[in-house]
Chain A
Amino acid sequence: MITTMNLSKCYNEKTQVLDDLNIAIKKGEWANIMGPSGSGKTTLLNILSCLDRPTDGSVIINGTEVTKLSQDEMAAFRRENIGLVFQQYHLIPYLTALENVMLAQHFHSMVDEKEAKDALELVGLGHRLDHIPAHLSGGEQQRVSIARALINQPAIILADEPTGNLDRANGKIILDLFKKLHTKGHTIVIVTHDPEIGTMGDRLIRLMDGRTVDEKITA
C-alpha cells in the first residue's frame, strides 16, 4: 500500500533529516512510527501524506508514484486517498463540529449533512453537533478531527501524535476509534511517543537520526 524507496530529505547541506529510508506498509495494516524528538517522524509523515517532497527517492502509494505528481495532483491525491489527524486538531474555531466536518466534504465534492452527522455519531459526538471547538474538550475536538479525516472515506489515515495533547482516558477513546477503523480495513500510520500505542499496531518502525533502526511486526 505504502512503499518508500531510498527516501532522503535534506533541509540544507548540513541537516539531513531522512537518510535512505525503505519502508513498506501493507494494505489494512496499522503501522506505528516511534523515535526520539527530531528523528524525522513528522518529516516522514508529511512526505507520506503528500504534503512535502523528498530530496531523493520515491514514494509509491496505492500504485501511484506520488513523488512524481504536480502540486495540484498531490492535493487531489490527498483529497481522495488520505485522511489526516493532527496533534493540534486544527479545527476552524468559528465553525461548529458539524460544519468543520462538512468543510472537508466541500473541498472533496459536495456537502452531505446526513453523512457528516453519521461520521460524528461514529466518533460518539452525535450530541455535540452544534458546538464550536472552544466548547468541546480536547478529546472531543480530536474526535471531530477524526470524523473530518474519515468523511471522504480515505483508504489511508495518517496521524501525527494524535493523543499527544490528551490525558490517558481521552487518549484511550481515540485509540479505540483507531482500532475500530483498523478493523474496518483502513490502512493506518500513527506517529507516537506513547509506548503503549506502540504495542498496538501490526508493525512498529523505530527511527533514529533519519534511519530505521528497528522494524518489527508486533501483531
Chain B
Amino acid sequence: MVSTLINIALDLNGKVAKELRAFGANLVLLPDEIRENNGQLLSMDEIDKLKDTGRIDDVYGYAPYLYSIGKIEEQNVVIVGSQFENIKKTSPWWKVEGSWNDDNSEESTIMVGSKVAVKLGYKIGDTVTLNIREETDKKESYTEKTDKTDEIPVDGISSASQSLNGDAAKRWPLNILSEMNQGEYTPKQFKLVGIVSTGGSEDNQVFIKLKEAQLLFEKKAQVNLVQISVLTNKNPIEKTALQIEEQIPGTKTRILSQISKAEGNIQDKILFLMVLVTVLTLIGSGLSVMSTMTTTVLERRKEIGMMKAIGAQNKKIAAIFYAEAGAVGLIGGIAGYILGFLMAQIVGKSVFDTFIGFHLMVIPITLISTVLLALISSKIPVGQAIKIDPVITLRGE
C-alpha cells in the first residue's frame, strides 16, 4: 500500500501536468477582429516570434493549423494542415497507428482520423484521393455565419476558412461538416501513413503537411490559428497571453482557462489525498503490527520469564523481539513492494492510461519505512516483554 502510493506520488507531478496538458493546448492564437473582417490570416513570420523566448517566456510548444474542406469518396471532411513534430508536443495524447506525417519529406502523405478510416475502410499504405475544394469559389453559405461571410470582401479568401478562423477557438476542431455539394473540387492523391485516434473530433478529420496544405489551399505561409501550450507555474497565463498579443500585432488570444487553472490545483489536491491515505495506512499498519507483537509477547510470556530467570539482559530480550519485528517488516516490505508496484501499474493504467515509471528509489524507501514502522510499533510490546516478572510467569501452570 505504502509502496503503491510512493510509486504513484513520485510519478504524479509530471504525470498530472502531462495529463492536463493532454486536454489540449491552453492558449489559441488567432487573427484579431480587424484582420478577421478582412479575411487576413496569420503569417508564418509572425508565428515564428513565439520562438523568441527573450520576449515571450513560458511558451512550451505551439502548433500552427490551416483548415480547409474537401471530400473523400463523396464524404465531406475537414482537412487539417499542420506541423506534426509540434503536434506531438502540444497534443501528446494523440495515438497514431502506423506513422506520423514527416514534416520534412517531399512525399504527399496523409493521416486520417480513425472514424474516417473505419467509415471508408482505409488501411495504412492505401492511396487516398482527396478532393480539395477550390479556394476561388466565392459564394459559400454552409456555416452559421452566413450573414457575416456575405459581407466580407472575398478576393482569394475562402469563406470556409474564414468561418473556421473566426469561430475556431470555440468549435475547434470541427467535425465532418454538413452537406456541401456546391463548389468545385480538385483531386489529389496521398499515401496513407497513419491513423489518428484521440477520442475527439480529430477522429473525423484528415491531416496533411502544413506546407503542402498552404500550397494546395493557396495560402502560402499562412495559417488559421496556432495552438499554444503555455507553462502556468511561473506566470499567470493571462500575462503570457497579453505578452503574445503585444509582440505579434494584429492577433488576439483565447485562453482555454479551465485547464490551466486546474493544473496547479488538482495536483495539490491529489498529492494531499495521497499523503493522507499514506499516513492513515501507516498508522493502520503500525497498530496492527503493535497488536500482533503484543499477542506474541503474551503468548511467550513464559519463555520470556524463563529467559529472565536464567539471567538474560533486558536488551538481549528486546533484541530478539526487535529482530523478529524487523524481519517481519522486511518480508512485509518486499511483498508490499511487489504488490505495490503492480497496484501502481493498475492505478496508473486505469487513471492515467499510462504505466507508472519504475523508480529505483522506491525499493529502499519502502523497505526502510516498513522495517522502521515495524520497529517503532514494537516499542510498546517489547517494553511489556521486558517488564514481565519471572516469579509470576514461572509459577503459572
* Interface residues in chain A, defined as those with a beta carbon under 8 Å from any beta carbon in chain B: 42, 46, 49, 51-52, 72, 75-76, 78-80, 82, 84, 86, 88, 90, 92, 103-104, 106-108, 148-149
Contact = CB atoms under 8 A, between A and B. Distances in A.
Given A51-B391, A90-B394, A107 B303 contact: no
Interface in B333-377: none
B34 interface: no
Contact of A103 (B307, B314, B390): B307
Contacts of B306: 86, 90, 92
Contact of B311 (A76, A86, A92): A76
B302 A42 contact: no
Range of interface residues on chain B? Answer: 10 to 19
Contact of B391 (A52, A88, A106): A52
Nearest to B303: A92
B270 to A, nearest CB: 47
Interface string B243-272: 000000000000000000000000000000
Ranked 10 nearest A-B pairs via Cβ: A79-B311, A107-B312, A90-B306, A78-B311, A52-B391, A51-B391, A75-B311, A46-B391, A104-B310, A92-B303
Contacts of B309: 49, 51, 78, 84, 90
Label chain A's interface by main secondary structure: helix
A133 B56 CA distance: 82
Contacts of A75: 308, 311-313
Given A79-B311, A103-B307, 7 more contacts: A51-B391, A75-B311, A84-B309, A86-B394, A88-B394, A90-B394, A107-B307
Contacts of A51: 309, 390-391, 394
Interface string B2-27: 00000000000000000000000000
Interface in B383-397: 390-391, 394-395
B344 to A, nearest CB: 37
Given A75-B308, A79-B311, A106 B394 contact: no
Contacts of B394: 51, 86, 88, 90
A218 B152 CA distance: 134
